[in-house]
Structures are given as structure tokens and as C-alpha cells.
């Protein structure tokens, strides 16, 4: 005996029914905007490690939560601003990794030492090591504009990936002996002290967030949406300024840390 079974669909599922079956709950009657509810739920899921393998894209979140693309974009914008995800226009969001290298504020630090303290191999690609004049830098060091300066430009690596583009100017009259140093795996301050007796004992830094130039992105191996820190340093010996340094550091691999207490300050917030 032969035969077959047949099924007839006599109803249909509406879009609203499908959404209700698949979306995660958001309270449309709450005072909290939908984008903020979505942002908070995503933070909870991030903290639980739910997105360890892959962070969902905009369309997946629209489907999962039953909200508009505009709502999703508002939530993702806040996550990016908080440093929890990274994403560029037209690119899949991904979970931001924790910085590997931490540097203290208020201390004359060595990036060489900080990278090695993080358990990573420190090495550099030397792009330039020569003598040149730079009137603007000379002025910052309190020198005449045509003063010869030792200029060192390196791409600093931490492990297998680039970390920073580092540019340093020193008066040639003091620092000429460092021209013979091999800066692929050594610290400038160490070479300066060993070869000239000069000790940089204090400094003044200015730190700001920047968008790297196209050339800096190429050297750092990062995309257009990458954030970076620009650090300028005026280094001093006991006799006065001796070093001007400008460093562009990848924001995803580097963090500045500070310790503080009420101490002599009155806390008002």
C-alpha cells in the first residue's frame, strides 16, 4: 500500500508575532529610552562574556530586540564612547580588548620598561637617526633656531604588534654620542646616561586624544576608526631642558593610570 501525507497551512504568523517570539524584552512603557535599555542589556551580556567569540551586527540586534536601526545605533554609540566596543562605518562591531601596557601618571617613565613589565618583548624599528635643525623644537628647548639636534624616530613594538610612533629631539652638542647606539632593543635614557653622563631627572607631559594621520595608522597597523593618545614631553636635567619628545600611542594597547586620595584636596563630587 502506498500513499503520502500532506499538510496544509491554514494560518500565518504576523511580523509582530515573529518579533515577540524572537526578541529580547525591552519595556516600551518605561521612562528609560529604548536605546538606553538596549545599551544596559548589552553591557550585562558583555560582562557575562556572552560575546567572547563575536559581537552581533546592527541588523542582528534590530532582529533580536525588535527595535529600529536608529535605536541600535544610539546604543552602540554609547558602547563605543565607553570603550566597550570598537567599530567603524560599515564594519562589524567587536569587543574592545583591555590595554596590555599600563603607564603611571606623574612619573618619568620608560616605555621600554613598561612594555617588558607587561611580559612582552620590546623592540623598535628605527626609521631615522640623524642630526638636523628644527626651529620650533629648538625654541621649546630654549635654544637658537638653527641649533643642530639629534633626531630619533622609532616605531615601538610590544610583542608582535606595533605600539607607538616615537620621535625625540636632543641638542647635538650634548647627545651626539647616541648616534652610535643600536636603538632596536634599548632605552634612550639608558644610552644617554651611559654614553654622555646625562640623566633626565624630571619632565612635563601633555596628553590628548587624537585621530592618527594616515601615515601614522600605516605605521601602527590600525584602521581609520582607531583612537590614539598624543603624548608630548619636555624632559629636564638639573641644568634645564634637554629633550623634546612626541609619541603617538595606540589607544587599544595602552592605558594611563593614576593613584589618588583626598589628601590635601577637598572632594566636591
The domain limits of the chain are 15-95, 101-257
How would residue 242 be classed by pLDDT, with cut points 50, 70 and 90?
A: very high
Least confident of 66-70, 92-96, 158-162: 92-96
Q: Whole-angstrom Cα distance, residue 249 to residue 230?
A: 7
Q: What pLDDT, on the 0 to 100 scale, is given for residue 169?
A: 98
> Under CATH, what is the fold of the domain 15-95?
Arc Repressor Mutant, subunit A (1.10.10)
What ranges make up the beta strands (E) of the chain? Answer: 85-86, 94-95, 101-104, 122-132, 149-158, 161-171, 202-210, 228-237, 240-250, 254-257
What pLDDT does 7 receive? Answer: 38
DSSP 37: H
Domain 101-257, CATH: 3.40.1410.10
pLDDT at 125 over 60: yes
Could you say which DSSP state residue 34 is in?
A: H
Environment class of 118 (CB within 10 Å of its CB; exposed 0-12, middle 13-18, buried 19+): middle
pLDDT digits (tens, 9 = 90+) for 166-194: 999 999 999 999 999 999 988 899 999 99
* Distance (Å, whole) CA 175 – CA 137: 15
Mean pLDDT of 246-259: 81
11 has pLDDT over 60 = no
Distance CA 87, CA 97 (A): 13
> Which range is least confidently modeled, 112-126, 181-195, 232-246?
112-126
Q: What is the pLDDT of residue 194?
A: 96
Which strand (E) or helix (H) includes residue 35? helix 34-47
Q: Do domains 15-95 and 101-257 have the same CATH topology?
A: no
Amino acid at each position: 500500500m502506498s500513499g503520502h501525507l500532506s499538510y496544509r497551512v491554514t494560518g500565518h504568523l504576523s511580523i509582530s508575532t515573529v518579533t515577540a517570539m524572537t526578541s529580547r524584552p525591552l519595556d516600551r512603557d518605561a521612562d528609560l529610552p529604548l536605546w538606553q535599555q538596549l545599551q544596559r542589556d548589552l553591557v550585562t551580556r558583555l560582562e557575562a562574556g556572552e560575546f567572547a567569540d563575536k559581537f552581533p551586527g546592527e541588523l542582528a540586534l534590530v532582529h533580536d530586540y525588535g527595535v529600529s536601526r536608529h535605536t541600535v545605533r544610539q546604543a552602540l554609540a554609547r558602547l563605543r564612547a565607553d570603550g566597550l566596543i570598537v567599530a567603524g562605518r560599515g564594519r562589524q562591531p567587536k569587543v574592545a580588548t583591555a590595554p596590555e601596557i599600563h603607564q603611571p601618571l606623574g612619573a618619568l617613565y620608560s616605555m621600554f620598561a613598561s612594555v617588558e613589565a607587561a611580559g612582552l618583548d620590546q623592540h623598535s624599528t628605527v626609521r631615522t637617526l640623524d642630526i638636523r635643525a628644527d626651529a620650533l623644537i629648538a625654541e621649546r628647548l630654549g635654544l637658537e633656531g638653527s641649533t643642530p639636534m639629534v633626531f630619533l624616530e622609532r616605531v615601538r613594538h610590544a610583542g608582535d604588534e606595533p605600539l607607538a610612533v616615537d620621535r625625540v629631539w636632543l641638542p647635538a652638542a650634548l647627545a651626539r654620542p647616541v648616534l652610535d647606539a643600536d636603538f632596536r632593543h634599548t632605552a634612550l635614557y639608558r644610552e644617554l646616561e651611559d654614553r654622555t653622563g646625562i640623566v633626565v631627572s624630571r619632565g612635563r607631559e601633555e596628553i590628548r586624544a587624537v585621530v592618527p594621520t594616515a601615515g601614522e595608522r600605516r605605521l601602527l597597523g590600525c584602521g581609520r576608526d582607531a583612537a590614539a593618545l598624543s603624548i608630548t614631553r619636555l624632559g629636564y636635567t638639573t641644568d634645564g631642558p634637554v629633550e623634546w619628545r612626541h609619541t603617538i600611542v595606540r589607544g587599544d594597547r595602552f592605558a594611563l593610570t593614576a593613584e589618588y586620595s583626598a589628601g590635601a584636596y577637598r572632594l566636591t563630587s
